[in-house]
Structure 1
Amino acid sequence: MSQALQDLLDLLDLEQIEENIFRGQSRSAVVPRVFGGQVAAQALVAAGRTVPEDRPPHSLHAYFLRIGDPGAPIVYTVDRLRDGRSFTTRRVVAVQHGQPIFGMSVSFQTYEEGMDHQTPMPPAPDPVTLPTSEERLSGYGHLDARVVEKFLEARAAVDLRYVDEPPYGRFGEPRAPHSQVWFRTNGKLADDPLQHIALATYVSDMTLLDSVLLAHGRGGWAVGDVVGASLDHAMWFHRPFRADEWLLYDQESPSAYGGRGLGQARIYTQDGRLAITVIQEGVVRIPRG
């Protein structure tokens, strides 16, 4: 296991300070605020700590309410809304400086047999044939060295490989609003399903709005032609998967309007099983002046 991955796992290992109250530490991301994927993953872990281990999450719905302060801890309060025979529901509120910065509802389900079908996995190249983040970023002379350093630091725990050029790699010309990324953790994980789901949640906030930028030929915050932030985030976990094995993140944007952009995606295991569906809307503004 890489040290970066161990540091991330430590970040997700929350301190329990009361029966339904947890505290998580924080760190800055590629921008001077708490990374949204971190808050979502920590909130999911907090909810999962109040549910039996044999009942994994099957969906989450979240809202980003305020910008998080990376210099302060985050307190997560869990409401036990329902404990049924098959389903369990939790609500989590993340608080900093006395104000809620994030809210999430999570539903858990005991495994059961049922109908089974899925959308087929789209074509994608073998991930090992694609450049690593470090290899790809080393070729972008137009990016500030500090931006490259921040990118690599923020993604050191994850091996994330774009199938095509990311928005900040080739911008100025609109492209199809579709992006593919392969990812896996930089090291093996334990067999805890909640840990794998939390890590996939963490990564899911990294690239989902790329397809919005591609449609308009924008490079994003890395080149300063867009100001953005996540507004809400929803995930459905369909089938078991491992975050330490390759996952294909197939993303697209059906709409952008009114200063907001919508991204939707499917995450597949390398052998073609549909593992997760993700939808997110974010603020996507063109800077004035």
Structure 2
Amino acid sequence: MGMRIKVLQKDGGKLQVNEEFSEMLAFNGIDTFEKLWNIPSEPVKKVVKQRGTERVLLKSPDGAALEAYIKRYTPEPLKEKIKNILSFRPNRYPGALNEWNAVVEFHRNNLPTMQPIACASRGGDSCILTLGIRDYRRASELFAEFAGKDRSRRRSLIGKIAGLAAGMHSAGMAHQDFYLVHMFVREGEDDKPYLIDLQRVVFKEDFSERWRVKDLAQLLFSSEKFVSRTDILYFWKIYAGGAVGKMSDGKALMAKIMRKTASIRKHAG
């Protein structure tokens, strides 16, 4: 059974707060959209013009500092929006509310991800504040280190990632950027993988085999230089055993995944 996060509505619905962090946010004077949007922060990364992530330090009543991350979204330019619609890619960079809903839904389904603190939205501007994941390694780094050694540990991590993928798809969600770099692994939790960057998650209403294929092809593309055919078959055994919902025959689905992987490889090259 997953953990249900109780969400409190503030500032006329423009600010949503995880009840667990309500007292801390109040202590830091964050009770409106404006206060969260303008919270002091330092840049970490900016992948696209419409989205940037910055580090935030929150003070707790006991004097300790809590490291968090705020991701701010601004509206997609009309020209880019029209281009994406014509390319059948509407809502390519949705606002923070989509990521907030995804994080909350991940917790409800017991899928490891970031801890949500607050989300704010007004007009076309929105932002999400999450707790930083500490003491992690990127899955891509670990698999690179496993090359030629740590076979049992590599196989164990493959099984955990397969379980995460199966759980996500069984819950009717697809990540859309399901690459190893978006998985943080906490070695102190027996190599437990956490999935990050959920801003483009597709939900039940829109979930279909197309998204299942895309996710698994992205994962295969990002891991193929680290894993063997036997590893892939092991992943598939765990994934197929845990996934529920409408799914093609195994061989047919695998063929679609291989074709999509080849397409990603071609565009990446």
Q: TM-score, normalised by structure 1?
A: 0.26
Higher normalized strand content (fraction of residues): 1
Q: TM-score, normalised by structure 2?
A: 0.28
Higher normalized helix content (fraction of residues): 2
Give the greater-gyration-radius structure (CA).
Answer: 2
- Choose between structure 1 and 2 for higher RCO, CA contacts under 8 A separated by at least 6 residues: 1
